Protein backbone atom coordinates (compact mmCIF):
# COMPACT_ATOMS: atom_id res chain seq x y z
CA UNK A 1 0.00 0.00 0.00
CA UNK A 2 1.40 3.38 -0.99
CA UNK A 3 1.81 6.29 1.41
CA UNK A 4 -0.86 8.31 -0.40
CA UNK A 5 -3.44 5.53 -0.01
CA UNK A 6 -2.61 5.11 3.68
CA UNK A 7 -3.22 8.80 4.35
CA UNK A 8 -6.17 9.57 2.10
CA UNK A 9 -8.60 9.39 5.06
CA UNK A 10 -6.40 11.53 7.35
CA UNK A 11 -7.81 15.06 7.73
CA UNK A 12 -5.53 17.87 6.56
CA UNK A 13 -3.74 20.11 9.07
CA UNK A 14 -3.24 23.82 8.46
CA UNK A 15 0.43 24.19 9.35
CA UNK A 16 2.77 26.46 7.38
CA UNK A 17 6.42 27.49 7.34
CA UNK A 18 5.82 30.25 9.91
CA UNK A 19 3.76 28.05 12.25
CA UNK A 20 5.24 27.05 15.60
CA UNK A 21 5.30 23.58 17.06
CA UNK A 22 2.67 23.04 19.78
CA UNK A 23 3.85 23.16 23.42
CA UNK A 24 2.64 19.59 23.98
CA UNK A 25 3.09 16.56 21.72
CA UNK A 26 -0.21 15.68 19.99
CA UNK A 27 -1.60 12.25 20.78
CA UNK A 28 -3.88 9.77 19.05
CA UNK A 29 -5.59 10.99 15.88
CA UNK A 30 -4.19 14.49 16.41
CA UNK A 31 -0.65 13.11 16.06
CA UNK A 32 -1.56 11.15 12.91
CA UNK A 33 -3.01 14.30 11.37
CA UNK A 34 -0.02 16.44 12.39
CA UNK A 35 2.75 14.08 11.25
CA UNK A 36 1.02 13.68 7.86
CA UNK A 37 1.72 17.38 7.22
CA UNK A 38 5.10 17.71 5.46
CA UNK A 39 5.93 21.07 7.04
CA UNK A 40 5.10 19.84 10.55
CA UNK A 41 7.19 16.72 9.99
CA UNK A 42 10.15 18.79 8.74
CA UNK A 43 10.01 20.98 11.85
CA UNK A 44 9.93 17.89 14.08
CA UNK A 45 13.04 16.52 12.36
CA UNK A 46 14.77 19.89 12.71
CA UNK A 47 13.96 19.97 16.42
CA UNK A 48 15.32 16.44 16.90
CA UNK A 49 18.55 17.29 15.06
CA UNK A 50 19.05 20.31 17.30
CA UNK A 51 18.33 18.63 20.63
CA UNK A 52 19.32 14.96 20.29
CA UNK A 53 23.16 15.28 20.07
CA UNK A 54 23.36 17.36 23.24
CA UNK A 55 21.04 15.03 25.19
CA UNK A 56 22.85 11.86 24.17
CA UNK A 57 26.48 13.02 24.33
CA UNK A 58 26.52 15.35 27.32
CA UNK A 59 26.97 12.46 29.76
CA UNK A 60 28.91 10.29 27.30
CA UNK A 61 32.03 12.26 26.35
CA UNK A 62 33.73 9.21 24.82
CA UNK A 63 30.90 8.42 22.44
CA UNK A 64 30.14 9.64 18.93
CA UNK A 65 26.77 10.16 17.25
CA UNK A 66 26.41 10.04 13.47
CA UNK A 67 23.28 11.58 11.97
CA UNK A 68 22.82 11.03 8.26
CA UNK A 69 19.89 13.21 7.24
CA UNK A 70 20.69 15.70 4.48
CA UNK A 71 24.45 15.22 5.04
CA UNK A 72 26.38 12.65 7.11
CA UNK A 73 27.43 14.55 10.25
CA UNK A 74 29.43 13.25 13.19
CA UNK A 75 28.76 14.74 16.66
CA UNK A 76 31.01 14.47 19.73
CA UNK A 77 31.06 16.16 23.13
CA UNK A 78 33.98 18.53 23.67
CA UNK A 79 34.88 18.54 27.39
CA UNK A 80 37.07 21.63 26.99
CA UNK A 81 34.26 23.84 25.71
CA UNK A 82 31.29 21.88 27.17
CA UNK A 83 29.52 21.94 23.82
CA UNK A 84 28.88 19.43 21.05
CA UNK A 85 31.25 19.64 18.10
CA UNK A 86 30.08 18.50 14.67
CA UNK A 87 31.92 17.65 11.48
CA UNK A 88 30.97 16.30 8.06
CA UNK A 89 32.11 12.75 7.40
CA UNK A 90 34.57 12.77 4.54
CA UNK A 91 34.13 10.34 1.68
CA UNK A 92 30.38 9.88 2.15
CA UNK A 93 28.22 11.59 -0.43
CA UNK A 94 24.71 12.79 0.50
CA UNK A 95 22.05 10.17 -0.22
CA UNK A 96 18.42 11.16 -0.70
CA UNK A 97 16.89 7.76 0.03
CA UNK A 98 17.08 6.82 3.71
CA UNK A 99 16.44 3.09 3.24
CA UNK A 100 19.80 2.42 1.56
CA UNK A 101 22.01 4.53 3.85
CA UNK A 102 22.72 1.82 6.40
CA UNK A 103 24.72 -0.30 3.93
CA UNK A 104 27.60 2.17 3.77
CA UNK A 105 27.87 2.22 7.56
CA UNK A 106 27.93 -1.58 7.54
CA UNK A 107 30.97 -1.32 5.26
CA UNK A 108 32.49 1.39 7.43
CA UNK A 109 32.16 -0.46 10.75
CA UNK A 110 32.11 -4.07 9.42
CA UNK A 111 29.36 -5.02 11.91
CA UNK A 112 25.99 -3.31 12.16
CA UNK A 113 22.73 -3.77 14.02
CA UNK A 114 19.88 -2.21 12.01
CA UNK A 115 16.81 -1.19 14.03
CA UNK A 116 14.22 -1.21 11.27
CA UNK A 117 10.47 -0.64 11.13
CA UNK A 118 10.43 -1.15 7.36
CA UNK A 119 10.74 -4.58 5.74
CA UNK A 120 12.69 -3.06 2.82
CA UNK A 121 15.88 -3.27 4.89
CA UNK A 122 15.94 -7.07 4.49
CA UNK A 123 16.17 -7.30 0.67
CA UNK A 124 18.47 -4.25 0.60
CA UNK A 125 20.86 -5.93 3.05
CA UNK A 126 20.70 -9.18 1.06
CA UNK A 127 21.50 -7.39 -2.21
CA UNK A 128 24.42 -5.60 -0.56
CA UNK A 129 25.73 -8.90 0.83
CA UNK A 130 25.60 -10.56 -2.61
CA UNK A 131 27.14 -7.54 -4.32
CA UNK A 132 30.11 -7.60 -1.93
CA UNK A 133 30.69 -11.27 -2.75
CA UNK A 134 30.56 -10.52 -6.48
CA UNK A 135 33.24 -7.85 -6.00
CA UNK A 136 35.46 -10.26 -4.08
CA UNK A 137 34.93 -8.40 -0.80
CA UNK A 138 34.15 -9.80 2.63
CA UNK A 139 30.53 -8.74 3.33
CA UNK A 140 29.90 -6.94 6.63
CA UNK A 141 27.95 -8.79 9.30
CA UNK A 142 24.49 -7.24 9.41
CA UNK A 143 21.73 -8.10 11.84
CA UNK A 144 18.27 -6.55 11.56
CA UNK A 145 16.09 -5.92 14.62
CA UNK A 146 12.50 -6.01 13.43
CA UNK A 147 8.96 -7.04 14.30
CA UNK A 148 8.50 -10.81 14.45
CA UNK A 149 6.66 -12.27 11.48
CA UNK A 150 3.57 -14.22 12.56
CA UNK A 151 2.21 -17.00 10.40
CA UNK A 152 -1.57 -17.03 10.14
CA UNK A 153 -3.03 -20.32 11.41
CA UNK A 154 -4.74 -22.42 8.75
CA UNK A 155 -8.53 -22.72 9.17
CA UNK A 156 -9.80 -26.08 10.37
CA UNK A 157 -11.47 -28.15 7.61
CA UNK A 158 -15.24 -28.33 7.90
CA UNK A 159 -16.85 -31.81 8.01
CA UNK A 160 -18.59 -32.71 4.75
CA UNK A 161 -22.28 -33.58 4.49
CA UNK A 162 -23.49 -31.58 7.44
CA UNK A 163 -25.63 -28.48 7.41
CA UNK A 164 -23.86 -25.33 8.33
CA UNK A 165 -24.68 -23.96 11.72
CA UNK A 166 -25.00 -20.23 12.13
CA UNK A 167 -21.59 -18.94 13.01
CA UNK A 168 -21.21 -17.15 16.29
CA UNK A 169 -19.51 -13.84 16.29
CA UNK A 170 -15.98 -14.36 17.59
CA UNK A 171 -15.18 -12.65 20.83
CA UNK A 172 -12.78 -9.79 20.55
CA UNK A 173 -9.40 -10.80 21.89
CA UNK A 174 -7.02 -8.26 23.38
CA UNK A 175 -4.43 -7.06 20.92
CA UNK A 176 -1.26 -9.11 21.12
CA UNK A 177 1.86 -7.32 22.23
CA UNK A 178 4.41 -6.63 19.56
CA UNK A 179 7.30 -9.03 19.56
CA UNK A 180 10.67 -8.44 17.96
CA UNK A 181 13.38 -10.65 16.55
CA UNK A 182 16.98 -10.46 15.36
CA UNK A 183 17.50 -11.47 11.74
CA UNK A 184 21.01 -12.53 10.70
CA UNK A 185 21.49 -11.51 7.06
CA UNK A 186 24.34 -13.98 6.50
CA UNK A 187 22.20 -16.93 7.66
CA UNK A 188 19.22 -15.73 5.62
CA UNK A 189 21.38 -15.27 2.50
CA UNK A 190 22.76 -18.80 2.76
CA UNK A 191 19.28 -20.28 3.29
CA UNK A 192 17.66 -18.41 0.38
CA UNK A 193 20.52 -19.15 -1.98
CA UNK A 194 20.24 -22.86 -1.12
CA UNK A 195 16.50 -22.77 -1.88
CA UNK A 196 17.14 -21.14 -5.28
CA UNK A 197 19.75 -23.73 -6.19
CA UNK A 198 17.41 -26.52 -5.14
CA UNK A 199 14.65 -25.03 -7.32
CA UNK A 200 16.93 -24.98 -10.34
CA UNK A 201 17.77 -28.65 -9.81
CA UNK A 202 20.51 -30.17 -11.89
CA UNK A 203 20.32 -27.44 -14.51
CA UNK A 204 23.61 -25.56 -14.50
CA UNK A 205 23.14 -21.90 -15.33
CA UNK A 206 26.53 -20.15 -15.02
CA UNK A 207 25.04 -16.81 -16.09
CA UNK A 208 22.81 -16.85 -12.98
CA UNK A 209 25.54 -17.84 -10.53
CA UNK A 210 26.06 -15.14 -7.92
CA UNK A 211 22.79 -13.40 -8.82
CA UNK A 212 20.34 -15.60 -6.89
CA UNK A 213 19.28 -12.93 -4.39
CA UNK A 214 18.90 -10.25 -7.04
CA UNK A 215 16.65 -12.60 -9.00
CA UNK A 216 14.49 -13.07 -5.91
CA UNK A 217 14.28 -9.34 -5.27
CA UNK A 218 13.31 -8.82 -8.92
CA UNK A 219 10.32 -11.08 -8.25
CA UNK A 220 9.51 -8.98 -5.16
CA UNK A 221 9.50 -5.87 -7.35
CA UNK A 222 6.94 -7.47 -9.67
CA UNK A 223 4.47 -7.69 -6.77
CA UNK A 224 4.21 -3.84 -6.74
CA UNK A 225 5.21 -3.34 -3.13
CA UNK A 226 6.80 -0.18 -1.69
CA UNK A 227 10.17 -1.85 -2.28
CA UNK A 228 9.55 -1.54 -6.04
CA UNK A 229 10.17 2.20 -5.77
Q: What is the pLDDT of residues 98-116, one digit of tens each?
A: 888 999 999 999 999 999 8
228: confidence class by pLDDT, cuts 50, 70, 90: low
Task: Transcribe the chain into DSSP letters.
Answer: --HHHHTTTSPP----TTPPPPSS---THHHHHHHTSHHHHHHHHHHHHHHHHHHHHTT-TT-EEEEESSSEEEEEEETTTTEEEEEEPTT----S-GGGTHHHHHHHHSEEEEE-SSTTHHHHHHHHHHHHHHTT--PPEEEEEEEPP-PPPPPPPPPTTSPPPPPPPPPPPPPPPP-EEEEEHHHHHHHHHHHHHHHHTT---GGGTT-HHHHHHHHHHTTT-GGG-
| Cα radius of gyration (the chain) | 24
CA atoms of 4 and 69, how far apart (whole Å)? 23
Model confidence at 42: pLDDT above 70: yes
**5-9, 12-16, 97-101, 153-157: least confident range:** 5-9
The pLDDT of 171-195, averaged and rounded, is: 87
**pLDDT of amino acid 229:** 59
The stretch 1-30 carries a mean pLDDT of 74
Contact 25, 48 (CB under 8 A): no
Helix (H) or strand (E) holding 57: helix 38-57
Among 115, 82, 57, smallest CA distance to 73 is for: 57
pLDDT of res. 163? 62
Q: What pLDDT does 226 receive?
A: 65
Amino acid sequence: MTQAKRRRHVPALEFGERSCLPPLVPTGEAWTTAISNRTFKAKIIEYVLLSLPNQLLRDNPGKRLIVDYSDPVSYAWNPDTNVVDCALLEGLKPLGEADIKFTRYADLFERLLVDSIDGDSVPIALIHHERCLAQGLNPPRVCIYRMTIRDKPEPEPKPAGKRKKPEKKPEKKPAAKREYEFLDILALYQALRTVVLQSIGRTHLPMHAGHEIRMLTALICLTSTDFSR
